[in-house]
Amino acid sequence: MRKAFYIGYKGRLEAYIYIWFSKQYRFVYVGETNNINGVIGRACQHVTRGQGTLYSRVDDEGYDIQEINDFVLLSYPLPRQKKFMTEESAYRISVEYLVQKKLYALRREVDRPYKMLSSVTTGPCTGMKSIDHIADKIAYDFVDIYQNE
Residue 55 lies in a domain: yes
Domain count, the chain: 1
Q: What average pLDDT does the segment 10-17 reach? A: 74
Q: Does some domain include residue 5? A: no
Q: What is the pLDDT of residue 1?
A: 43
Q: Is 123 helix (H, G, I), strand (E, B) or coil?
A: coil
Separation CA 50–CA 85 (nearest Å): 27
So what's the pLDDT on residue 49?
74
pTM: 0.88
Residue 99 lies in a domain: yes
Residue 3 falls inside a structural domain: no
Residues 6+ apart with CB under 8 A from 125: 90, 91, 94, 131
In a domain, 123, yes or no: yes
pLDDT of residue 3: 45
How far, in whole angstroms, is CA 142 from its chain's centroid?
A: 9
Decide: 16 and 39 in contact? Cβ < 8 Å: yes
Task: List strand residue ranges (DSSP E) for the chain, in order.
Answer: 16-22, 27-33, 72-77, 115-116
pLDDT value at position 2?
47
Query: Mean pLDDT across the chain, nearest whole number?
Result: 86
Residue 131 belongs to what domain range?
11-148
- Is 1 domain-assigned? no
The answer to whether residue 58 is domain-embedded is yes
- CA 48, CA 127: separation in Å to the nearest integer? 34
7 φ/ψ angles, rounded to the nearest 5 degrees? -105, -45
Chain segment 37-71, per-residue pLDDT in tens: 777 777 767 676 777 788 888 889 999 988 999 98
Q: Is residue 53 part of a domain?
A: yes
| Residues 59-110 pLDDT 10s | 899 999 889 999 898 989 999 898 998 888 999 999 999 999 999 999 989 9
